[in-house]
Amino acid sequence: MQLSLHQLLFRAFHGQNNILQPVREELGLGRGQPKILTYLLDFGESSQNDIASYFQTDPAAVSRMTETLRQNGFLTRTEDASCRRANRLALTEKGREAALIWRRRCSDVESIILAGFSAEEAEMLKGYLRRIIANFAGAGNG
């Protein structure tokens, strides 16, 4: 039986998730929270709107996730001096450690994904995935 592209993408996602879900649970993180921690690791102190825009997701969802992260000691939230309605988010040491562990495990998964691929093939795959993402964005679904 030939699998459709949708089925192949789903199976690839599911394979990755099977490896990363236990790591996320060990770190005490919910779905979607690791990407917020790694965003803050990469970009430093940021607003919830910056994060929502970067991930092309609902600001209310980011707000819920960041509130849980704050309550669990992964990040701090302070009022933005330039706009009292906005908050600035920053990693705590616990959040930084969790983000680094997550990043290392994602790198391990990437090695599994790309096993047997040449460097050229790996770059081609990344290019194809970028085009898929751009196609979704162009269709109003990104």
Q: What is the pLDDT of residues 85-127, one digit of tens each?
A: 678 999 999 999 999 999 999 999 999 999 999 999 999 999 9
Express as a percent the part of the chain with pLDDT over 90: 84
What does DSSP say about strands 46-47 and 83-91: parallel, antiparallel, or unpaired?
A: antiparallel
What does the CA dihedral 92, 79, 30, 10 come to, rounded to 10 degrees?
Answer: -110
* pLDDT at 141 (0 to 100): 57
Domain ranges within the chain, ordered by starting residue: 5-138
pTM score, two decimals?
A: 0.85
CATH architecture of the domain with residue range 5-138: Orthogonal Bundle (1.10)
For the stretch 22-68, pLDDT in tens is 999 999 999 999 999 999 999 999 999 999 999 989 999 999 999 99
Are 77 and 66 in contact by the 8 Å Cβ rule? The answer is: yes
